[in-house]
Structure 1
Amino acid sequence: MKTYKQVLIGASASVALGLYGATRYFFNAAFERKTLEKFPRLGKGSPWEEEIEEGRIWLKCHAVPVGTINSFDGLKLSGYYVEAPNAKRTIVMCHGWRGSWERDLAGISKWFYKNGCNMLLIDQRAHGFSQGKYTTYGLFERLDCVSWCNWLNKMYRPEKIFLYGVSMGASTVLMASGTDGLPFNVAGIIADCGFSSPYDIIAHTGWNIAHVPEHPFMDVLNLMVRRRIGVGLKSFSVADAMKNNTTPLLLIHGKQDEFVPFGMSIENYNESNQDTSLLLIDGANHCLSYYVDRKNYTKTLKEFIIKAEKDFKSRNLYGT
C-alpha cells in the first residue's frame, strides 16, 4: 500500500509533467515558425475584406525584392522596396506576429505611396522568406529593424526615415527606438496596436485564450525560452526602450482590440519621455484602426509626419 508521502510525490510529479507538457505546447504555438496558411486573413469576414485583398495585390505588384541582409545572429533576412514618385522620406515597415508585409500593411501602404513615401517592407525573422526558427516578439526583431535602417542608409541614402509597425511590428519599432545603433535620420516612429512587452502580451494571451495563470506558467515558459532561444522574456520592453528614446512617437490603437488590449498603448504612452501622440480609435479591432476610421487615422498620421520632419530639420539646423 502506498504511503501518503509516495502519493504526494506521485501527484507532484504528475502536476509537474502536465505543466511542462502544456508549456511546451504553448511554446511551440507561440514561438516556432508556422506557415501563414494556418492563420486567418486580416479582416476576414469584415466589411473591409475585399479592400484588404485588393491592397495586398497592389502592394505585391509594386514591391521589388532587394535581396537579404545578415542579422546579428547569422540569419538571412528578406526585404522589399516600393519607390514612390516624388518621395520625400522612406518608411521602414514591420508586420505582426504570424503576419506578412503584404497582408498586414496592405491598406496604409497605398496612402504612404500617394503621400510621397518610399517603403522598405521586411519579412520579420521566422516569417516569409527570412530565415529563423523562432519569433521573439520584438526582442531580436528590434535589432533586425536597426540593421535594416543602417542598410537603407547605405544603399539608398534617404534624408529621413520613419518606422512603422503593426502589432508585434509596432512593438518592434518601439523597442528599436531605444536600441543602440539606430541611425540619426530616423525622424519619427508610428506604432499601431503594439504591446508593452513580450512577457506582458504572452501572459495576457495565455490567460485570455486558455485561462492559464501567470504563475507558475510564465516562470516555466521563460526558462524554456531562455534555453531554446537564448533570451529572457523580461530582458527588454517598450518601457526600457523609452529610457533611451529621443525620437517622436505616434501610438495608435483600436479600443475594441481583442488581441492586444488598448491599455498597453496607454501604458507605452505613459512610459514615453519624448514628444508622443496617442490616437485611440472607437470600434476598431486588432490591426483594423485604419479601415474603421481612416479619415482620423490619416489626418493624425499626416500631422505627425509634418511636425516630426519640422522638428528633425530644426535639430539638424541648430544641432540640438
Structure 2
Amino acid sequence: MKGVLIALLALAVLFGLLAWFCYCLAFRRYQSKKTLTVFEESRYGGLAAAMRAGQEFYKSLRFEEVEISSFDGLRLRGRTCSAEAGKPLILLFHGWRSSDARDFGCVLEFYLAQGFGLLLVDQRAHSKSEGKVISFGINERYDCLSWARWAEERFHPPAIYLDGISMGAATVLMASGLELPGSVRGIIADCGYTSPRAILRKVIRQYHLPVGIMYFFVRLGARLFGHFDPEAASAVEAVEHCRVPVLFAHGEADGFVPCEMTRENYAHCASPKRLITVPGADHGFSYLIDRPGVEAALKRFFADTMKASPITTVAGDEGKA
C-alpha cells in the first residue's frame, strides 16, 4: 500500500512538473534579453530595412502614457498619439510576446495620414502592463472591451476601430462577441487564429510532438497555474455573434498561423466582412509585402464604415490585396 501511494505521489509530481513546464513555455510572462525591435537581415531579409524605418518613426512620435484597470484588478497601460475629441481612433493590439513598436511601427504613419488618433495597447503580461499570464485572448478580450469603453468616454470619437495582429487579432475577434461600445465601427484582424486550442495544437504538431498528450499538459498547466481554460472561448465562435464589420487579412505563406484559420473565421463571421490575402507574405508581414494593396483595402474599409451603421455596412467580398 505504501509503495502504491509513493508511486501515485511520484506520478502527481511528474504531472505537475510537466504542466508547469508547458505553462511557462506558452503562457507565463516572458521578457527576452534580446530587444524586440532588433531586425536582422539574416532573419528578415529585405524587410529588415523597412522594419527599422518603422521603428524609427515610432520613436519619433510623441505619446501620452495612459492606464486603465482590468476586470481582474490589473493595471493595463498603453499610449495615445494624436488622439483628441471628435477624431476617429484606432486601438492597436499586438501579438504574443511582442510589442506595439514591433507589430505596428510600419503602419502608424499610414494611419496618422488618414486622420486617425492612435491608442497602442500593452497587452496584459507584456511591456508596461501588469499581469503574469498570457491567455491567448481568453482574458485579453475583456481588456479590449475595457479599452474601447475607456476610449469612448475619454475622447468621444465619431468612430473607433479595433486592430490586432496574431494574438492581437484573436483578441479583437473574441471581443467582437461582447457588447462593444456604439462608436466601434469596425475590426481589422491580421493573421488571427481560430482558437487558443487550435493554435496550441498546431504548434505542438509543428514540433513533431504527440499532440494529444502534450496538449493535455498544456491545458492542465493553463488551468493549474494560469487559472484559465484555453477552451473557454474562441474567435471562430465569437464572430458568429459579431455585429460590426470586419476586415480579415492574412499572408498566404504564413508559417505560424495558417491562412486557413482566417478563412475559417471569415466563413463563420455573421457581420459584414471582407477578406484579403497576400501571396508570399509570412506571419504578420502582409502590409510590408504588399503595402499598396493593403492600404487600398484599408481605405475602402474605412470609407464604407466610418459614418454608416456598423450593422448595415460593407458587403462581403474576398480577394487578394
- TM-score surpassing 0.5? yes
Matched, 1:280 2:310: no
- Compute the displacement of 1:244 (Å): 1.9
| Cα 1:85/1:144, change in 2 over 3 Å | closer
Whole-Å Cα distance in 2 between the matches of residues 267 and 290 of structure 1? 21
Whole-Å Cα distance in 1 between the matches of residues 111 and 83 of structure 2? 8
Farther-moved stretch of structure 1 (148-157 vs 215-224): 215-224
- Matching of residues 246-265 of structure 1 within 5 Å: 246-265=243-262
Aligned with residue 33 of structure 1, among 25, 29, 35 = 29
Whole-Å Cα distance in 1 between the matches of residues 177 and 99 of structure 2? 24
| Cα 1:22/1:131, change in 2 over 3 Å | same
| AA partner of residue 105 (structure 2) | A
Report the TM-score, using the length of structure 2 for normalisation: 0.88
- Matching of residues 201-216 of structure 1 within 5 Å: 201-209=199-207, 211-216=208-213
Q: In structure 1, list runs of 5 or more residues that go unmatched.
A: 1-8
Aligned with residue 183 of structure 1, among 181, 187, 209 = 181
Aligned with residue 195 of structure 1, among 193, 196, 208 = 193
Whole-Å Cα distance in 2 between the matches of residues 191 and 110 of structure 1? 19
Farther-moved stretch of structure 1 (240-249 vs 124-133): 240-249
> Contact (CA 8 Å) 1:42, 1:104: kept in 2 or not?
no
> Contact (CA 8 Å) 1:101, 1:123: kept in 2 or not?
yes
Partner of 2:102: 103
| AA partner of residue 103 (structure 1) | R
> Contact (CA 8 Å) 2:85, 2:157: kept in 1 or not?
no
Farther-moved stretch of structure 1 (43-52 vs 110-119): 43-52
- Compute the displacement of 1:217 (Å): 2.0
Q: How many aligned positions are there?
A: 309
- Matching of residues 230-269 of structure 1 within 5 Å: 230-269=227-266
| Cα 1:157/1:271, change in 2 over 3 Å | same
> Contact (CA 8 Å) 1:177, 1:241: kept in 2 or not?
yes
SS in 2 for 1:243: helix
CA deviations on 1:153-208 (whole Å, 9 max, x unpaired) are 1111111000101110011111111123x101100000011011111111111121
- Compute the displacement of 1:258 (Å): 1.0
Name the % identity.
Answer: 34
> Contact (CA 8 Å) 2:194, 2:235: kept in 1 or not?
yes
Whole-Å Cα distance in 1 between the matches of residues 248 and 311 of structure 2? 23
CA deviations on 1:91-125 (whole Å, 9 max, x unpaired) are 00000001100111011111101111111001000
Whole-Å Cα distance in 1 between the matches of residues 39 and 50 of structure 2? 9
Partner of 2:221: 224
| AA partner of residue 189 (structure 1) | I
Whole-Å Cα distance in 2 between the matches of residues 37 and 299 of structure 1? 38
SS in 2 for 1:53: helix
Q: In structure 2, list runs of 5 or more residues that go unmatched.
A: 314-321
Report the TM-score, using the length of structure 1 for normalisation: 0.88
